[in-house]
Chain A
């Protein structure tokens, strides 16, 4: 029952988001343009509208949805696995690792252009995640040590990024770096959509298949092991998955905070604690949330676009505060 409703909400969100913007396009026109492209019908539409919708807004909205879903999934997995409500890719320093990687490539020209800034962000995100997990492991491996290690490495990578920017970047390059720090969905194309859709849906399927195991982690690894879960294998599989997923998302859209941290909590507050529900709910909520935030950040200060990371926090924090207070009334 909830499944179709969720898909409908997401489709409607994308549809409405695509109509918004300086050039007004009606929902009916959006439908016609989609039909033309998907079913190869030939409903007459204006070429300029077709270009705006099909080449600009739709891929952008779909990338936003994929980012929201993917970041939500990463947050849900990390919070359950590490048993820490503060765990998310941003807090664990993965995003700042990505920006460092992008800066090293983009500003210093490391790798001789073989990687590109996206490639640098990808490698940087993976490296930062590795550093955090190793640091946490060698410091005793408790659940709070992961977050401490994340905060520490996050600061470190942010410092390296700033150092490179202040020392070596010109004004244009600095603006380019801001993209990685705050996230941006400017200029998304269909190949970005294809990449993210493939990665996020593969990740989603693996997460869903691990839902039971994640439930069993509620009381810690010892209890999970006594329930027949292969703790080490599950941990490695899901941590690697999260790292790859985050690295891919960040390399395409930059570091978007808040979604991974808060959306899983919102999903749990609304749909309870079982991961068979939390995982799809987080993905859909994240997707819908990001689509709207991105649409708003395009429109509100148009023609100046707002970095999408600014919007996620501005819109998300009040919503989350409301959910928290409401839960208190129920407890």
Chain B
């Protein structure tokens, strides 16, 4: 039992942004949410973290409906890293990570030894121990994202939700960040734009189009040229590495021609595959 969505729908300003989506990740696995801009990835993540309530369907944490839980309770199990969360505050890295302890604290209680240990561990996990006393504004983009992940880890969550965490990062930092997330002892659900990153690091990909899941499964099964043509409207060549079994996607100029496979793999009730 983990964080699960069961046929959730969400209408936002008159548009159905999430339409009957189910997500049931295997504990400890890494799941990519794919799909073009506006396909509902971020909205789905908002539902999963309890920041918004679905109009129909339920999000459950260990079987309990998220909408009936206290925010603090949710935050002790589910951590979120958004894209590009910035601050004007003149704050050091360790204090940023310390924010992750917020849901574990009492109203007026001070920091406990347990808080300090969690912060130390989180910093070490993302390799920022040496920069713990550096100011936020002196960090590079990649370091800031890692600090956010450390902040999320200090929450000691079982579920980690990431919304395009690799935006604005150079390629090396993109690879490092996702390698880090994939190895974390948490269930991670990541909204991604880059199909190759999803294929490299995720156990399962879930492809969204106009709020609906149109495909789900292992990357090498789901990411076919016809699906990519259908969902993104681009031509792609998919190559398989025979050693690793992983695939890589190469895009080609021009629009895809001929009939598409629209609807072939749509309306999956849920995706449950081993990690």
Contact = CB atoms under 8 A, between A and B. Distances in A.
A215 B102 contact: yes
Interface stretch (A163-171, A217-225, A302-310): A217-225
A212 B102 contact: yes
Given A212-B105, A216-B102, A222-B51, A228 B85 contact: no
Contacts of A274: 95
The number of chain B residues touching the other chain, given as a range, is 20 to 34
Dominant SS among interface residues on chain A: helix
B76 A227 contact: no
A83 B46 CA distance: 22
Given A219-B86, A222-B85, A331-B135, A228 B76 contact: yes
B85 A219 contact: yes
Contacts of B75: 226-228
B72 interface: yes
B239 interface: no
Contacts of B76: 228
A226 B49 contact: yes
A273 interface: yes
A204 to B, nearest CB: 14
B71 interface: yes
Contacts, number: 71
Contact of B95 (A225, A227, A273, A327): A273
Interface residues of A, number: 23
Contact of B72 (A209, A228, A268, A327): A228
A83 B99 contact: no
Contacts of A83: 87-88
B21 interface: no
A331 B136 CA distance: 11
A229 B71 contact: yes
Nearest to A79: B88
A21 interface: no
Contacts of A215: 99, 102
A227 B91 contact: no
Contact of A227 (B90, B103, B107): B103
A230 interface: yes
A85 interface: yes
Contacts of A85: 88
Given A218-B89, A220-B85, A222-B85, A228 B103 contact: yes
Given A209-B107, A226-B49, A228-B102, A218 B71 contact: no
Contacts of A227: 75, 99-100, 102-103, 155
B87 A229 contact: no
A225 B78 CA distance: 11
Contacts of A268: 90
Contact of A223 (B82, B91, B135): B82
Given A85-B88, A216-B99, A273-B89, A222 B135 contact: no
13 contacts: A209-B108, A212-B102, A212-B107, A216-B99, A219-B96, A223-B82, A226-B78, A226-B80, A227-B99, A228-B70, A229-B71, A229-B102, A230-B71
3 smallest CB-CB distances across A and B, nearest first, come from A228-B75, A228-B103, A226-B80
Interface of A: 83, 85, 208-209, 212, 215-216, 218-220, 222-223, 225-230, 268, 273-274, 327, 331
